[in-house]
A and B are shown apart, each in its own frame.
Chain A
Amino acid sequence: MSNCEISMDEAKNILTAYIIGDIDHHNAKPVRDKIDNALYLYRPKELLMDLSKVDFMDSSGLGLILGRYTKAKELQCEFAILNPCDMVIKILSLAGADRIIRIIKEDA
């Protein structure tokens, strides 16, 4: 059972991971595996994590985001997160990660 879903989409060298639900320690691993597998398969120029449908995240989510940022960097891939909610930004800023990670906010 999981209250977190992920779907991936690759187009024009941009890999987008759409995450829906809560990111906690239990849910982080399948999300991490899916993103990493796709990252090695497609070798995109850019990896985007769409967080517009994530309304809960704890420090495991922070680990997930920082881990993907590091992995993308290793593969010379640009990295950004899309539309994080205030709660996600609050967690990111605790570790100063909001200054390292590119955050894209689109108006709905």
Chain B
Amino acid sequence: MSNTKSERKKPDNEIKIELPSYSVNENMARSAVASFIAQLNPKLSEIADIKCAVSEAVTNCIVHGYKDSIGKITISVKCYSDRTVKIEICDKGCGIADIEKARTPLFTTDSSGERSGMGFSVMENFMDKVTVKSGLGKGTRILMTKKLSPVMIFNPAEDEKKLNMSL
């Protein structure tokens, strides 16, 4: 409802980041998104959730999309007036053969037992909505949205008035 409305609306602010798929850039990617959304005064837990979801998506581009090569990852972040944040993370890597399977909790292509297979589950649990579009040999596009909770405005004068009225 509010999501579909904001899809048609122009964002209040937006950024686009393009980076090569070096794993050292994972930190930069999530930190850049976190600094950008800080202007909306999100709760600390909301920043942590978004950072983590971005980290998962970018790691997927690096580990899976560009498994044997280095390619471009593009991240676009849009903020809307209703406090919806839309994050799109794309690669032009190998693509996902079976999206349903990839999204299954604990599913991993790794046999060493070092990967949890929880990347998509983290994105789905920490964001409101996650859409995955992928084409074999074409790449993968992940769209994640989250509506931030309203800002708590600190107003001591108003709070005192309310307190006096209730007494």
Contacts and interface: CB of A to CB of B under 8 A. Distances in A.
Q: Is the interface of A mostly helix, strand, loop or mixed?
A: helix
Given A32-B114, A59-B56, A67-B113, A94 B119 contact: no
Interface stretch (A11-19, A22-30, A44-52, A75-83): A22-30
Nearest to A57: B52
B117 to A, nearest CB: 8
Contact of A58 (B59, B105, B117, B125): B59
Interface in B27-65: 27, 30, 45, 48, 51-52, 55-56, 59, 62-63
Contacts of B30: 24, 56
B7 to A, nearest CB: 28
Interface residues of A, number: 24
A66 B121 CA distance: 16
Q: Which of B59, B118, B119, B122 has the most CB of A within 10 A?
A: B118
A24 B27 contact: yes
Nearest to A59: B118
Nearest to B23: A26
B59 A24 contact: yes
Contacts of B99: none
The 10 closest A-B pairs by CB, nearest first: A26-B23, A59-B118, A63-B116, A62-B116, A58-B55, A25-B59, A63-B115, A67-B114, A59-B116, A24-B26
